[in-house]
Structure 1
Amino acid sequence: MKLSVRADNRLDDMPMAPVACRNCGAQVLARKASWNQTSVQWNAEASALCAERQDAERLAGHHRRPFLACSALRESIEAAVAVGDLAIVDGR
């Protein structure tokens, strides 16, 4: 039996949009599926600019842990939603 892979079309209706952190200027791609779910795509330049990310990586040392959140970027994303620069897919 051959399994087929279903295409991921979640970004078709609302793609990720650029959002710049108001603290450090790091620009990421973000998408708000709901008030509780945010997807963030980092690139190398944004990772290098984010002080919270750099601190987390330094503190992790050899124990590589995933970076979960930057409070300054989270506030910048919330501000982008508030002014209409970033829409919420499930706008309820």
Structure 2
Amino acid sequence: MRLRPDVRLDDGPMTPVACTACGARVEARKSSWDQTSIQWTAAAREACLERRATSPRPGPNGAAFPGCATLSAALREAAVAGTLPVQDPDDLKANPIQEAGH
């Protein structure tokens, strides 16, 4: 059996995105509106205010960082603005509650 090469980064490379709060620059790629891959550099890890403020949690994965809310918002804004390409051709889905008029 022959393995198929992974060409996802050829089709949609990682794009630099900066956090609006601390300026931490990460490399990001959006496969879809719901999936984002992020690569943190050492400098970005040190600069991130939310990462520094997070205390380790109990358990074997306690040191895992759950994510930066401000960076998540910056990633979403970049995707909506088109500076962070979304590979999935489907449009951003509207909020079904807003569509129903609630």
Cα distance in structure 1, aligned partners of 2:89 and 2:45: 29
Cα–Cα, structure 1 residues 91 and 69, in superposed 2: closer, same or farther, change >3 Å? Answer: farther
User: Equivalent of 1:20, from 18, 21, 26?
Assistant: 18
Alpha-carbon offset, residue 20 of structure 1? 0.4
Long gaps (5+) in structure 2: 91-102
Mapped to 1, the partners of 2:50 and 2:7 lie a distance apart of 32
Question: Percent same amino acid at aligned positions?
Answer: 43
Q: Which residue in the other structure is 1:82 paired with?
A: 80
SS at match of 2:46: helix
CA RMSD of aligned residues (A): 2.0
**Structure 1: segments with no counterpart, 5+ residues:** none
Alignment partner of 2:51 out of 50, 53, 59 = 53
Moved over 6 A (4+): none
Give the number of aligned pairs.
88
TM-score by length of 2: 0.76
- 1:38 aligned partner: 36
TM-score (norm 1): 0.84
